[in-house]
Structure 1
Amino acid sequence: MKLATLKLDGLEKGVIVTDKGFVLLETVSTTGYQLGSTELFGLLQNDELDALNVWYQHGGRGLVEQMDTIPFEAAVYAAPYRFPRKIWGIGMNYWQKAEDLASSPPNMEPICFMKPDTTLIGPNEYIMLPAISNRVTAEAELGLVIGKVCKDVPESEAMSVVAGYVPTLDMTAQDIHAKNPRFLGRSKCFDTFFSFGPHLVTLDECLEMDALAIETVLNGDVIYSNAISNMIYKLPFIVSYFSDMMTLLPGDIIMTGTPGSSLIREGDMVACRIDGFETLQNPVMS
Structure 2
Amino acid sequence: MKLASIKADGLEKAAIVTAGGYVLVETLNAATGSAWSETLAGLLGNEETAGLNAWYREGGALQAERLETIAFADAACGPLLRNPPKIWGIGANYAEKAEEMAVTPPDGEPICFMKPTTSLVGPGDAIVLPRGEHRVTAEAEIGIVIGRTCKYVSEADAMGVVAGFTPTLDMTAQDIHARNPRFLGRSKCFDTFFSFGPHLVTPDECPAPGQWTIETALNGVTLYRSDVTRMIYSIPYIVSYFSGMMTLRPGDVIMTGTPGSVPLRPGDVAECRLGGFAPLLNPVIAEREARG
Aligning the two structures, in what range does the TM-score lie when normalised by the shorter sequence? over 0.9
| Residue aligning to 1:232 | 232
Matches within 5 A, 1:197-276: 197-276=197-276
1:181 Cα deviation after fit:
1.1
Matches within 5 A, 1:176-187: 176-187=176-187
Q: Does 1:23 align with 2:23?
A: yes
Judge conservation of contact 1:36–1:46 (CA < 8 Å) in 2: no
1:173-203 per-position Cα deviation (integer Å, ceiling 9, x unaligned): 1111111111110110001000000000001
Instruction: Name the aligned partner's letter for residue 171 of structure 1.
Output: M
Judge conservation of contact 2:145–2:162 (CA < 8 Å) in 1: yes
1:205 Cα deviation after fit:
0.6
SS in 1 for 2:96: coil
Instruction: Name the aligned partner's letter for residue 240 of structure 1.
Output: S
Instruction: Name the aligned partner's letter for residue 141 of structure 2.
Output: E
SS in 2 for 1:225: strand
Q: 1:210 to 1:136 in 2, by over 3 A?
A: same
1:105 Cα deviation after fit:
6.9
SS in 2 for 1:96: helix
1:111 Cα deviation after fit:
0.3
Q: Does 1:154 align with 2:154?
A: yes
| Residue aligning to 2:118 | 118
Judge conservation of contact 1:32–1:63 (CA < 8 Å) in 2: no
C-alpha distance in 2 between matches for 1:146 and 1:185: 22
Q: Does 1:81 align with 2:81?
A: yes
Q: 1:86 to 1:109 in 2, by over 3 A?
A: same
| Residue aligning to 1:12 | 12
Instruction: Name the aligned partner's letter for residue 179 of structure 1.
Output: R
| Residue aligning to 2:62 | 62
Judge conservation of contact 1:133–1:173 (CA < 8 Å) in 2: no
Judge conservation of contact 1:32–1:64 (CA < 8 Å) in 2: no
RMSD: 1.7
Question: TM-score of the superposition, structure 2-length normalised?
Answer: 0.93
SS in 1 for 2:108: coil
Judge conservation of contact 2:136–2:171 (CA < 8 Å) in 1: yes
1:52-77 per-position Cα deviation (integer Å, ceiling 9, x unaligned): 11111111111111110111111111
Count of aligned pairs: 282
1:36 Cα deviation after fit:
4.3
Question: TM-score of the superposition, structure 1-length normalised?
Answer: 0.95
1:35 Cα deviation after fit:
2.6
C-alpha distance in 1 between matches for 2:151 and 2:270: 35
1:107 Cα deviation after fit:
4.8
1:209 Cα deviation after fit:
3.2
1:279 Cα deviation after fit:
0.3
| Residue aligning to 1:170 | 170
Instruction: Name the aligned partner's letter for residue 52 of structure 2.
Output: L
1:116-158 per-position Cα deviation (integer Å, ceiling 9, x unaligned): 1111100000000011342000000000000000001111111
C-alpha distance in 2 between matches for 1:186 and 1:258: 19
1:9 Cα deviation after fit:
3.1
1:224-276 per-position Cα deviation (integer Å, ceiling 9, x unaligned): 11111100000100000000000000000000000010000100000000111
Instruction: Name the aligned partner's letter for residue 41 of structure 2.
Output: F
C-alpha distance in 2 between matches for 1:182 and 1:161: 32
C-alpha distance in 1 between matches for 2:19 and 2:107: 43
C-alpha distance in 2 between matches for 1:107 and 1:140: 26
Judge conservation of contact 1:151–1:247 (CA < 8 Å) in 2: yes
C-alpha distance in 2 between matches for 1:154 and 1:134: 41
Judge conservation of contact 1:133–1:176 (CA < 8 Å) in 2: no
| Residue aligning to 1:128 | 128
Q: What is the aligned-residue identity percentage?
A: 59
| Residue aligning to 2:290 | none
C-alpha distance in 1 between matches for 2:96 and 2:106: 12
Judge conservation of contact 1:145–1:165 (CA < 8 Å) in 2: yes
SS in 1 for 2:273: strand
